[in-house]
Amino acid sequence: MARTFHDLIAENRRNSFLLVVAFVVLISATVYAIGVFLADGDPRSGIAPAGVALVAAGGLSLGALYGGSNAILGMSRARRIAKEDDPQLYNVVEEISIAAGIPMPALYLIDDTALNAFATGRDPKHAAVAITKGLRDRLTRDELQGVLAHEIAHVRNYDIRFSMLLAVLVGFLVLVCDVFRRYLWWGGGSRRRRSSSSDRGGGGGAGAILVVLAIVLSIIAPLLARMIQLAASRQREYLADASAVELTRYPQGLAGALEKLGNDREILEVANRATQHLYIVNPIKSFEKRAKGLFSTHPPLQERIDRLRALGRE
């Protein structure tokens, strides 16, 4: 039985929930192991730090959900526009929102000649779509409609909420592990070992295993979290492309827009590593200094275009 877009969206939301739960478990396990390490191997000593970490991660996540979109829009220097500012653009967004069955998101413009766009917010009732001036000026109406449909698909599919939560959880985990590794680097580990050798108590063999696990997790957990985040982000880009075709019934529009975005050499100055995954194409170009050492935040652009062309032929 063929799956519908509603099935894909429901699966997307389930997978998002499971992925967030997995990140919470990873954060808890990492902080628990670090707590055991700092207490000379006592397995009971990691429970309180793990609980504090969960409360802190929950607080940061709530803060991001309710204030993150405003921070992102402000960081991107986006200004809100009304219908009288650009009636045609407003009407395109309104049409696609009706087709998607969601309230019309707030519309923002970034005064930059580069071509790009992103969506943010916590749900379809509290969402915003931002596009650059370059995108508005250099795309045809069909291409503009394809890009806006892609961003509104992110809103309808709840990708905006997922990406916000995941960014906070990954950032929190990276921060905790980075602080712990700096503690080890500056001699905290050697002092702790001297203390434990002079006063052995704690948890014996289990504690020793947890101590080793703390060091291992502090190294691999941030890498693993980042890889999972980027893999999930790439899958959501594919789904948003397909959803845009569902909304516009014209895959050539989005395919043509992606080709222009891929050939654009303009640098989007307001983009950074914290927001790059939000955009329809990665705004940090491979030739920029900012691009060094980055994992792939988006699927290969040509592959996305080829998939859209294939949908058009079908």
Phi, psi of 266 (to 5 degrees): -70, 145
Nearest to 257 by CA among 185, 169, 125, 149: 149
- Contact (CB, 8 A) for 264 and 134: yes
| Ramachandran category for residue 258: left, alpha or beta (phi over 0 → left; psi -120 to 50 → alpha) | alpha
- The alpha carbon of residue 233 and the mean position of all alpha carbons in its chain are separated, in whole angstroms, by 6
Q: Which residues of 223-232 are buried (b: 16+ CB within 10 A; e: fewer)?
A: eebeebbbeb
Handedness of CA 286, 290, 296, 302 (dihedral sign): negative
Our answer to whether residue 246 is catalytic in this structure is no
Which amino acid is residue 58, in one-letter code?
A: G
Q: SS3 for 240?
A: helix
List helix spans (H) across the chain: 5-38, 47-75, 87-100, 133-138, 141-156, 159-185, 188-198, 204-248, 251-263, 301-313
Distance, in Å, from the CA atom of 157 to the CA atom of 9, rounded to the nearest integer, reads 6
Q: Which residues of 95-116 are buried (b: 16+ CB within 10 A; e: fewer)?
A: bbbeebebebbbbbbbebebbb
Q: Tokens 């803060």 appear where?
A: 63
Catalytic residue among 84, 151, 303, 314: 151
State the catalytic residues: 151
